Amino acid sequence: MSEVKKIALHGLTLEPNSEKYLSQIIDRLNKEGVEIWVTTLFKSRNGQIEDCKNVIDEITTDFHAVFSLGGDGTFLETLLWVGKTEVPILGINMGRLGFLASIAKEYIKESLYLFFKGNFEVESRALISLETNLDLFNGKTYALNECAILRKDTSAMIMVKCYINNQYLNTYWADGLMVSTPTGSTGYSLSCGGPLMMPDSKDFVITPVSPHNLNVRPLIVSDDSELRFEIESRNRSFLISLDSRSETIESDVNIVVKKAPFRAKLIKIEGINFPDTIRNKLGWGFDKRN
């Protein structure tokens, strides 16, 4: 990355005890002579940044980075602002440690020092793209974690026929089915019995949600695969979700899931890595007997 000169800030409503951390960020950016911008939504949520005059509705390619201030959910929202521009995102967690927003607020000063020293790398993460014959999600039909097909209520399971590269794979009777990226393998897919994957894996995982047949297990497929789904539901409607967003659609909708033509770029500060994060989040390597 060239010299950082233009940075955007995005986040949710910050708690009063987080205002000092926002001040630390702004002070550091000003010290570095950075042109600071805030998203319209972030400014409307936080009165303490009313003095920031540079407000944007969309991120453009001339930004050097976007700082996401919040948790992993905020990071996913930030990604929707960034979209196809592929502007790198730095996740600063204002709560507990996250997988995406990996910088704890207590380490903001140290992390920004390393950032402006150039002690970071930009990780490229695959995104999932959803194609249907409907206009869904305001045209932002991509996800960093997963695309899920889910039953709408508790009355009946749904039947999902899955085809991989136009070859019939399986019919799933379940509460739902998801296609997860390596990034998303640490979230919803994991809670449904899916495997953990390293972020640079070039695969997707198909994970059933509460399947009726217990011999049906998650399946890892190449991320170059094109997955097509046909749905049947007693109520003729179901939910389709992209990360934290969902919409109701009818069972006659054509659904294709494949790798998006653009990627998410995550800024990782030196000293913060996936193995460390996964150990801390999942409690690996700790003796729980005491």
φ, ψ for residue 69, nearest 5 deg? -110, 100
Closest to 180 in 3D by CA, of 165, 167, 190: 190
Closest to 122 in 3D by CA, of 273, 277, 268, 276: 268
* CA–CA gap between residue 266 and residue 72 (Å, rounded): 12
Q: What is the number of other CB atoms lying within 10 angstroms of the CB of residue 124? A: 12
* CA–CA gap between residue 89 and residue 265 (Å, rounded): 6
Active site residue 72: yes
Amino acid residing at 162? C
Report whether 133 contacts 253 (CB < 8 A).
Answer: yes
Closest to 29 in 3D by CA, of 37, 20, 19: 37
Query: Of 62, 72, 135, 153, which residue is the catalytic one?
Result: 72
89: Cβ–Cβ under 8 A, 6 or more apart, which residues? 65, 66, 67, 68, 75, 78, 79, 82, 264, 265, 266, 267
End-to-end CA distance of the chain: 47
Q: Which residues are catalytic?
A: 72
